[in-house]
Chains A and B, each alone.
Chain A
Amino acid sequence: MSTLELINLQKRYQNGYEAVPGLDLEVRDGEFLVLVGPSGCGKSTVLRMVAGLEDISGGDMLIDGVRVNDMGPQQRDIAMVFQSYALYPNMTVGENIGFAMKLRKTDKAVMATKVAEVAALLELDKVLDRKPGQLSGGQRQRVAMGRAIVREPKLFLMDEPLSNLDAKLRVQTRAEISRLQRRLNITTMYVTHDQVEAMTMGDRVAVLRRGYLMQCATPQELYHTPDNLFVGQFIGSPSMNVVRAEVVEGTGGLPALTVGSQTIQLDDAALAQLPGVRGMIGRSVAFGMRPEVLGDEGTSSIDVDVELVEMLGAELLVHATIDAPSVKQTDEGVEIGESNTSMIVASMDARIRVNAASRMSLTLDTSRIHLFDLVTGDAIGKAKVDVG
């Protein structure tokens, strides 16, 4: 039973660089929370502060309600899996797993039993006497896991533990870690830059950008109702298509969106999702559509020039141009493309035949579109929904 609370947590380096300007985050008991973001977003710094490997410059950190700011890593009762695994090369697998217990002068028999238990759980029983240098990448990863879980810590920290594995093993280990975490029910904070990992593993996912928390929510929420342009474009692969559009008055007084030379009429279903759009007539916005919202079914449509068709087996990715400038979130702010055309990607049923270098009309489900402010990047017009 453990919780972790970060209250206005700050990290400033001596050279004045502010890695984390102030982070509020809570990891609930037994929860699997994933910190995700591009490199340099401060996610590893936060994890290392939680571990006690980095000083905290400001704010509070509570484990189970107890302030641990000034405690060393030894006192925090946490376990960590490193990206490099950090296995002790001079010790066997068994000694690696039992090292923490040995330091605590645990009874030898108890130690042996626990190591054996964990080894059996992670299928390491046959390699207990080997040194890390003699193990495969996957086995090393499991030893690192074993070293962490054998202690039954309050908190489990993982720093990109899968990034040294090949693609196939990564998918397999991803599932194993999730299963193990649910089974042991240990509160976990997991850092990754891979949004697929974040979405598949996390109970909740916290998206960080330059030290700021952009959104912390369940994977579904992040995907379907992103709080801002950054989250919208960071989560999802292929990423969300965002172009500039104007809100205009369409037929019957209902709002519509002008995208380049085309007008997309919003219907009641769309307005139920985006009630705020009624008050935005005349305003320029960033208009986001996920690839799967295009092309399958919908109440509206949009004409595009197909440039390239990628057949992925289950789906078809159609790369096409549209006559509206693209919008993306950069470090400097929201950036509107200079060109008046932009590339968009539609994910369609693989059975549909699409010819490259043709003009086609893609259907659009307007009830699943997103609108963002062109200056702040915040999601606008959304209905207030409480999920989770």
Chain B
Amino acid sequence: MIEIFKTFVTVALGLGAFLAVMVGLYWLASQLPEPWRDRARVMVFVGPALVLLVGGLILPSLYTGRLSLFTGPNANKWYGFGNFRELFTDSDNLIVLRNTVWWVILVTLASTVIGITIARLADRMRGEPYAKALIFLPTAISMVGAGVIWNFVYATKGNDPDKQYGLLTWLWLKAEPILPGKQDPHYWLQDREFFGFHSSFLPGLNTLFMIVVIVWIQAGFATVVISAAMKGVPDDLVEAAKIDGATDRQSFFRIVLPYVKGTIITVATTTLIAVLKVFDIVQTMGKGGQFATSTLANDMYQRSFPLSQPGYGAALAVILFVAVVPIVYVNAKNQRNIREGR
């Protein structure tokens, strides 16, 4: 009881102090002579937000930029563009870049295409709301939670098919009579080869299995948003196309899809940015990016903290930032187009 009261009083005091400072500043500003009075008043109101923006966003960004030019555990040794040179030349680092590129391409493409397909198939189907709710459910699960769940799906335990608790391994072993060749128990999340094919360009099977998890999460979001946009296509348009002689397929590809193009771009760019930052799944399923599964965001954390290479971590952050800028630009332009009625 006392604790609650204390908290209440603290909050009240804090708010009161804030108010007093604001009123005091405003009063001070009002005392200034004419040309300065208005400017000072503006500063009283805009100032706090500006301080937060500069202190919380702009300064750290600039600091990160500066940090990326240094090396050493305390980042006090000038290194120039050395971190970036390493990033783009060292073979381990190139794997991180390669993985990130595949993540971005595959997740964005798959979630959007699956979203469009399900939205189209579910449209006007009986039980549509339930179908969409089911597909949307994974979106509500945290990435870490999803990682843990799917870890179970991919888990492998010994050779005996009947002792498996991982769904995929069990299916794999049970499918022995149907599939060609001999089915050995497989450690999916440790397989860094692309279906047994070793390549420095293609992602490992383990990365693909992690990508499936994010697609599972993102496709629900894509479906719901695209489906809503498809509901907004006027019936008249589709009917006019029918009368013009279009088949269902033609009216979908030539009328409906172009109509929801803006929404699809929004979904794709949103997914893209989310995937660029993928960290949790790699952390939980790839044990922090082992077996060649690391990505930019994951590596940024690993280098900055466990490995004490803050300079290199900062360089990765800068690369992430640079990669996001064009996407944000495309998204902003797209939003403007939507507002202006395309």
One of B54-62, B108-116, B239-247, B316-324 at the interface: B239-247
Q: Evaluate contact between A103 and B342: CB separation under 8 angstroms.
A: no
Q: Evaluate contact between A74 and B261: CB separation under 8 angstroms.
A: no
- Range class of the B interface residue count: 20 to 34
Q: Evaluate contact between A84 and B234: CB separation under 8 angstroms.
A: yes
What's the Cα separation between A161 and B20 when bound, in Å?
A: 64
From B239, B255, B259, B341, contact of A82 by CB (8 A): B239
What's the Cα separation between A78 and B250 when bound, in Å?
A: 18
- Within the complex, the shortest CB–CB distance from B226 to chain A, in Å, comes to 16
With a cutoff of 8 Å between Cβ atoms, the chain B residues found around residue A90 in the complex are 255, 258-259, 261, 342
Q: Mark A46-81, 1 if CB is under 8 A from B, else 0.
A: 000001110000000000000000001110001110
Which DSSP category, helix, strand, loop or mixed, fits chain B's interface?
helix
Q: B237 at the A/B interface (Cβ < 8 Å)?
A: yes
- Within the complex, the shortest CB–CB distance from A131 to chain B, in Å, comes to 8
Q: Evaluate contact between A89 and B342: CB separation under 8 angstroms.
A: yes
Q: Evaluate contact between B241 and A88: CB separation under 8 angstroms.
A: yes
Q: A25 at the A/B interface (Cβ < 8 Å)?
A: no
Q: Mark B221-247, 1 if CB is under 8 A from A, else 0.
A: 000000000000010110111111111
- Range class of the A interface residue count: 20 to 34
What's the Cα separation between A104 and B243 when bound, in Å?
A: 12
Q: Mark B243-257, 1 if CB is under 8 A from A, else 0.
A: 111110010001100
When C-beta atoms are compared, the residue in chain A nearest to B236 turns out to be A86
What's the Cα separation between A84 and B240 when bound, in Å?
A: 11
Q: A270 at the A/B interface (Cβ < 8 Å)?
A: no
From A74, A78, A82, contact of B236 by CB (8 A): A82
What's the Cα separation between A119 and B260 when bound, in Å?
A: 28
With a cutoff of 8 Å between Cβ atoms, the chain B residues found around residue A147 in the complex are 240, 244
From B242, B261, B342, contact of A73 by CB (8 A): B242
What's the Cα separation between A147 and B239 when bound, in Å?
A: 14
- Within the complex, the shortest CB–CB distance from A118 to chain B, in Å, comes to 14
What's the Cα separation between A82 and B261 when bound, in Å?
A: 24
Q: A40 at the A/B interface (Cβ < 8 Å)?
A: no
Given A53-B239, A74-B247, 16 additional A-B pairs, CB 8 A: A51-B239, A52-B242, A53-B243, A73-B239, A73-B242, A74-B243, A74-B246, A84-B234, A86-B234, A90-B259, A90-B261, A100-B244, A103-B246, A103-B250, A133-B341, A151-B244
